[in-house]
Amino acid sequence: MVPTIKDVAKRAGVGIGTVSRVINNQKAVGDKTKSKVLSAMKELNYLPNNMASQLRRNRTKLIALLVPVISHPFFAKFAYYVEDQADKFGYSVLLVSSQQRVEKEKEIISRIKQRKVDGAVFVTHFMHDESLFTDCPIVSMDRTFGENVPYVTSDNYQATQNALEYMIERGARKIGFLGSKPLVESEVMERERAYIDLMNQKGMPVCSVNQVILHGEEEIIVNDFMQKYSDVDGVFVSGYSLSQIFYKRAVAQGKKIPNDLQIVSYDGEFAQWGVNNLTCVEQPIEQMAREIVNQLIKKINGEPTQMRTVIKTRFVEGLTTKK
Amino acid sequence: MVPTIKDVAKRAGVGIGTVSRVINNQKAVGDKTKSKVLSAMKELNYLPNNMASQLRRNRTKLIALLVPVISHPFFAKFAYYVEDQADKFGYSVLLVSSQQRVEKEKEIISRIKQRKVDGAVFVTHFMHDESLFTDCPIVSMDRTFGENVPYVTSDNYQATQNALEYMIERGARKIGFLGSKPLVESEVMERERAYIDLMNQKGMPVCSVNQVILHGEEEIIVNDFMQKYSDVDGVFVSGYSLSQIFYKRAVAQGKKIPNDLQIVSYDGEFAQWGVNNLTCVEQPIEQMAREIVNQLIKKINGEPTQMRTVIKTRFVEGLTTKK
DNA sequence: CTGAAAGCGCTTACAG
DNA sequence: CTGAAAGCGCTTACAG
């Protein structure tokens, strides 16, 4: 049979409490005792039973990460860093893809309540009933929902305006905006607000399509935009999927990029798959992921957290804007 | 405080054993008792503590899934179905990306031994020391490594030959092969074997580049191939990443596809991101994933498993071969 | 059909 | 510094 802490204690000739102290390497163990225990552990090939310590400590050391779709390069990269950071605290990550279904969110809440996981990162969010998750350690990205859920976001407003100014400096006179609207309050909406504000300020026309869609339905927005505003000479596209589709479509229509049409995308540096070299506002995914995990661990441990953390984006000059 | 099974028992005026039977809805509970317990549970807002039942049952209801990189569309899709199928058995999935590091495999073995997870799916595999994972419930894809690890694969040999014949029927007379070689014994190698056999049989030249590389290093193979065999009129590319890169490169070199050059890829139907409409051999990812999970659950439960399961591929006629 | 009791393998005050 | 003991919240023979 698999050896337990009792077997180790017997073999080392000590109490099980002492073995436990060695496992969790607490100070208060004498050197000789310690080495006796250590070698007993080695001889028996002992490994602590995780389930037992979980029960005692009331911690699973597991967090859930809820993303809309894993196969989206942004979320894939994000998930990678969440895992890496969680690991530093001894936590593993349960990756759940919501496919935009609100039940998945409820399911995770219930997992927390059943103590299958200690907390969760919500990148998606459709639930409106805040009361369901009071007391649940949850941290979010971009979404602002309620007093109890800290979130990490990027400088959406400023970064968008900077990107627009960049195109204007390079001659753009009629700039469009494409975006997909989140279902709940989210700082992502700042991007369109920044766009509208700047257009008004500059006396330029507002040519915006910003709708609620599901992942995978980006075509709808692109179609709609193309129909209404085919004569723009600059476009700000909010989000990687949209910009991929928009770019391909524009090229297919014979637009010369960047000469006829300049494009800046929010997100876009995922090189390997898809169109490369978009000029884009790059969110520092790694930094955002690590910060989110840090906040979550604090929440789990009952330490004070920061409600809103803003991470600065980086502007990447690609081939879809003029020199 | 959070209510426990004791609180429910007290409120319902029954023993805790009875509550437990209701929770796990076993037959042997009287209707009246059952409804008393049920309403006590509802009143107290009771949720069973997962950690406690884990300890008693010696099951975490968790499996690990080890993939080389999550962000690869093939693995992303695969992971999705693994999760979906595992869920049917009440299992959650811990997604781990190995980044090709052998330590990650060892780490998972150790998680199994520490009872942090009940079993694992290995899509990657570099470890050679079989003795490390005897007794560990592990199931693999494509990789054949040892008596104790069942695996699921596709009909690599046959599917490759069919694809080659398809190009030959359409006029291809000099066909190349591009592949990345796995580090351990794997049925993926059947693809090149099928290619070489057929070329010999038809008296056609063998133009093959098949090397060991890491994910992300696909350029090396493409470069090498382009240099050696620039005059082929057909190409079989093993794997999605390679085919994406090869296709873009061929187009950049001014090749007319499919007129100058026909391409068939093993894997390729991941539409949304990247180049669409490759002619390809499509592995039924969903079916493979579900079958792998089924085998793993059997292994975990100590039931007999099938060592080798072959899933039939589907040939998809795209735009990179002639009509 | 149901209750009382043992035990899963740990951790952690408590006393020494 | 160290041991004995209680207890985490369940499940499961066992007896009735």
Can you tell me which residue has the tokens 């169109």?
Answer: A275
- Residue B20, CB, strand D, below 7 Å: yes
pLDDT digits (tens, 9 = 90+) for A251-272: 888 899 889 999 999 987 665 4
pLDDT digits (tens, 9 = 90+) for B73-120: 888 889 989 999 999 998 999 988 887 777 888 888 889 999 999 999
Q: Where are the beta strands (DSSP E) in B46-199?
A: 62-67, 92-97, 119-122, 138-141, 151-154, 175-180
| Protein CA at A104 to nucleotide C1' at C2, angstroms | 37
Mean per-residue pLDDT for A236-242? 92
pLDDT for A226 equals: 94
Q: To the nearest whole number, what is the mean pLDDT of chain A?
A: 90
**CB A74, CB A240: distance < 8 Å:** yes
Can you tell me which residue has the tokens 């637009």?
Answer: A255
- Residue B274, pLDDT above cutoff 60: no
The three-state DSSP-derived secondary structure of B91-127 is CEEEEEECCCCHHHHHHHHHHHHCCCCCEEEECCCCC
Q: In which band, very low, low, confident or very high, does the pLDDT at B216 lie, cut at 50, 70 and 90?
A: confident
Q: What is the CB-side half-sphere exposure of residue B248 using CA atoms within 13 A?
A: 17
* DSSP-derived secondary structure for B202-261: HTPPPEEEEE---TT-HHHHHHHHHHH-TT-SEEEEESHHHHHHHHHHHHHTT--TTTT-
Which pair of tokens denotes residue A104?
A: 């998945």
In chain A, where the domains are located: 5-56, 62-153+286-310, 156-283
- Residue B238, pLDDT above cutoff 80: yes
pLDDT digits (tens, 9 = 90+) for A130-166: 777 778 899 999 987 777 889 999 999 999 999 999 9
- Residue A321, pLDDT above cutoff 90: yes
- Residue A256, CB, strand D, below 7 Å: no
Closest nucleotide to B28 by C1' from CA: C1
**CB B26, CB B58: distance < 8 Å:** no
Q: Which of B60, B70, B97 to mutate to test the interface with A (most CBs of A within 10 A)?
A: B70
A154 Cβ neighbours under 8 A, 6+ residues apart:
A142, A187, A283, A284, A288, A310, A311, A312, A313
- Residue B321, pLDDT above cutoff 60: yes
- Residue A318, CB, strand C, below 7 Å: no
pLDDT for A184 equals: 78
Cα dihedral B186, B191, B193, B196, rounded to 10, equals -160
Q: Return the nearest residue to D11, CA–C1'.
A: B56
Q: In which band, very low, low, confident or very high, does the pLDDT at B53 lie, cut at 50, 70 and 90?
A: very high
**CB A168, CB A202: distance < 8 Å:** yes
Mean per-residue pLDDT for A213-238? 91
pLDDT for A140 equals: 93
- Residue A275, pLDDT above cutoff 70: no
Mean per-residue pLDDT for A43-55? 93
pLDDT for B278 equals: 87
Closest nucleotide to A32 by C1' from CA: D1
Q: In which band, very low, low, confident or very high, does the pLDDT at B130 lie, cut at 50, 70 and 90?
A: confident
Closest nucleotide to A8 by C1' from CA: C9
Mean per-residue pLDDT for A194-206? 96
**CB A152, CB A289: distance < 8 Å:** no
Mean per-residue pLDDT for B256-269? 90
Chain B residues closer than 8 Å to A70 by CB = 70, 76, 79-80, 95
pLDDT for A177 equals: 98
Q: What is the CB-side half-sphere exposure of residue B170 using CA atoms within 13 A?
A: 23
Mean per-residue pLDDT for A22-26? 84
Chain A contacts to B (CB-CB under 8 A): 47-52, 54-55, 58, 60, 70-71, 73, 76-77, 79-80, 83, 92-97, 110, 113-116, 216, 241, 244, 270, 272-274
Identity of the residue numbered B196: I
pLDDT for A271 equals: 52
Residue range B156-283 forms a domain whose CATH class is alpha beta
Which residues from 250-309 of B have any strand D atom under 7 Å from their CB?
none
pLDDT for B192 equals: 96
Quickly count helices (H) and strands (E) in chain B: 11, 12
Mean per-residue pLDDT for B135-162? 90
From the list B264, B255, B267, B248, the residue with the least C-alpha distance to B231 is B255
- CA B219 to chain A, closest CA, distance in angstroms equals 11
Mean per-residue pLDDT for A276-282? 86
Residue range A62-153+286-310 forms a domain whose CATH class is alpha beta
Chain A residues closer than 8 Å to B84 by CB = none
Residues in chain B: 323
Comparing A163 with B36, which gets the higher pLDDT? A163
Q: Return the nearest residue to C5, CA–C1'.
A: B17
Record the pTM: 0.88
Q: Distance between CA atoms of A4 and B284, rounded to whole angstroms? A: 43
For A55, the closest of B52, B93, B94 (CB atoms) is B52
Q: To the nearest whole number, what is the mean pLDDT of chain B?
A: 89
Matching fold, domains B5-56 and B156-283: no
Strand (E) or helix (H) holding B166: helix B156-169
pLDDT for B126 equals: 73
- Residue B13, pLDDT above cutoff 70: yes
pLDDT for A278 equals: 87
| Homologous superfamily in CATH for domain A5-56 | lambda repressor-like DNA-binding domains (1.10.260.40)
Measured between CA atoms, the residue of chain A closest to residue B99 is A80
